[in-house]
Amino acid sequence: MYQLINFTVRGDYQGNLVPIEAEKDIPFKIKRVYYIWGTDYNAVRGHHAHRKLEQVIIPIAGNCDFILDDGKKRETVHLYSPNQGLYLKHNIWREFTHFSKDCVVMVLASEHYDEGDYIRDYEQFKKEVAK
């Protein structure tokens, strides 16, 4: 359903750096990058799946929980480390919540924004993944 990708940390007494390269550290060409911050602890974001888009989600600062559902099983993944990314392929329903005050989540996406790629109704999602 998902994979956690551990990125290499390069650092010393001056600080840390995490290099991320498309098609090397990330299993696809990156076509879009966006980030989310300033979200209340109890807010629930997401509420959708994608038909073909793949994503790697990285908690740049703070932490949050991702609730993932493949139509058969539901699982919660706690993201808390900026050197670890959550890799999601298509047809995974996602919601995220329990944002720490300092939470910044960066998303690397395999496709440009396309509203037609979104499944925003959970019942429709279950029908599509049951095929």
Q: Are 2 and 77 in contact (CB under 8 A)?
A: yes
Closest-CA residue to 66 (of 3, 117, 129, 128): 3
One pLDDT digit (tens) per residue for the chain, 131 residues: 899 999 999 999 999 999 999 999 999 999 999 999 999 999 999 999 999 999 999 999 999 999 999 999 999 999 999 999 999 999 999 999 999 999 999 999 999 999 999 999 999 999 999 97
Residue 98 annotated to the active site: no
2-7+23-130 homologous superfamily: Jelly Rolls (2.60.120.10)
Predicted pLDDT at 1: 87
47, 48, 90, 98: the active-site residue: 48
Determine the Cα–Cα distance for residues 39 and 60; give it in Å rounded to an integer: 14
Q: Please work out, in degrees rounded to the nearest 5, the angle formed at the alpha carbon of residue 31 by the alpha carbons of 117 and 128.
A: 20
pTM exceeding 0.75: yes
d(CA 119, CA 18): 32
